[in-house]
Amino acid sequence: MIFSLNEFLRSNKCFKLICGAGNYDISSVEKLVYLYSKAGCNLFDISADIDIINAAKSGLKKADIVENRFLCVSVGLSGDYHFNKYFINQNKCNKCGICSKVCLENAIENFSIDEKKCIGCGKCFEICKNNAFLKTPFFADIKQILPLLNNLNIDCIELHSSNSNNHDTFNIWKYISENYKGVLSFCIDRLNYGNNSLIKRTKKMLSIRKPYTTIIQTDGSPISGGINDYQSTLQAVALSDIILKEKLPAYVIASGGTNEKTFELAHQCNIDINGVAVGSYARYIVKDYLSGKMDFDTALNIASKLVNSIKMRNS
């Protein structure tokens, strides 16, 4: 049976793979989409780049599964956590190699960062005792890239705007809403906003949208995945609960620190989310496959276990 994205979201079985808003590694994205499509993933979040979009479509084509597979493109405003890259100041680097051990994306090799692989999580920056890492923002001009996304028949656009002011965020959101007819999504977190201001912001965003044409992605702990425990996913589930209690006409997908425990914890707390978006953890558990050190069948078993931990618990 063929579903629309809205019908799929209403099923409450949405597993969304986040390839990374900052992931510009064509090979990695193609392999991730291929692998997780085979594992049963239906929704894929990718960066707003023509080569990456084509890589994702190529992954779906190679998996020979196109029906009920949907692409979401992430766009952002200045200051959002998802739109940074890190670089190493070689004059300060003491070549200790600790940073490469904490990088979940295999982006650091020979004391240098592969810009295409870096997603801006900042784990390298946090662990470096020599302050050798430099952060540089990056983001595409939404008004320039939106016509391209319309021409490529993208199923969903997601807006990240954590550190941007409400006025700028709403104006860009309004522009996208007026010029794009598909499902829209926006990512929220509590790092810079209290619960009341976050709810007010969310309601304003939804005020110009038709009911149930919008996804609210509750980013509990932005770019913090990699560990499979309840503590890591707690904030994602808690933020989902706050939003769901408002009974808003939108779908709610938990993200930020998500893992195999997310749906389990949500169900234990009677929090009826529409799905889970998994990024860092989903990529981390198959990183040896991405680097060619793990065979496909082994990677497929690992990926399927993660997807089923979400889909099966909502059967």
- pLDDT recorded at residue 1: 65
Q: Provide mean pLDDT across the span 188-199.
A: 89
Q: Is the pLDDT of residue 314 over 70?
A: no
The predicted-structure confidence for 293-305, as pLDDT tens digits, reads as follows 999 999 999 999 9
Q: Provide mean pLDDT across the span 86-94.
A: 93
Q: Identify the bridge partners of residue 70 per DSSP, sorted by sequence position.
A: 43
The predicted-structure confidence for 25-77, as pLDDT tens digits, reads as follows 999 999 999 999 999 999 999 999 999 999 999 999 999 987 889 999 999 88
Crossing angle between the packed helical segments 296-311 and 26-39, to the nearest 10 degrees: 60
- pLDDT recorded at residue 263: 93
- pLDDT recorded at residue 165: 77
Using CA atoms, how far apart are residues 153 and 158, in angstroms rounded to an integer?
A: 14
End-to-end CA distance of the chain: 17
- pLDDT recorded at residue 2: 67
- pLDDT recorded at residue 92: 93
The domain limits of the chain are: 16-80+140-314, 84-136
The CATH fold assigned to 84-136 is: Alpha-Beta Plaits (3.30.70)
Report the chain's mean pLDDT, rounded to a whole number: 92
* Domain 16-80+140-314 CATH (choose: 3.20.20.70, 3.40.50.300, 3.10.580.10, 2.40.10.10): 3.20.20.70
Q: Which distant-in-sequence residues (6+ apart) come within 8 Å of 240 by Cβ?
A: 218, 220, 252, 254, 266, 271, 273
Q: Provide mean pLDDT across the span 150-159.
A: 93
Among candidates 228, 220, 146, which has minimal Cα distance to 184? 146
Q: Identify the bridge partners of residue 109 per DSSP, sorted by sequence position.
A: 112
The predicted-structure confidence for 207-225, as pLDDT tens digits, reads as follows 999 999 999 999 998 888 7
Q: Provide mean pLDDT across the span 280-295.
A: 95
Portion of the chain with pLDDT greater than 90, in percent: 75
Structure-token pair, residue 17: 């793979």
Structure-token pair, residue 252: 């709610």
Q: Is the pLDDT of residue 107 over 60?
A: yes
Using CA atoms, how far apart are residues 255 and 8, in angstroms rounded to an integer?
A: 18
Q: Is the pLDDT of residue 313 over 80?
A: no
Q: Is the pLDDT of residue 231 over 80?
A: yes
Using alpha carbons, list the distances in angstroms from residue 114 to 36, 73, 118, 158, 244. 24, 22, 6, 25, 39
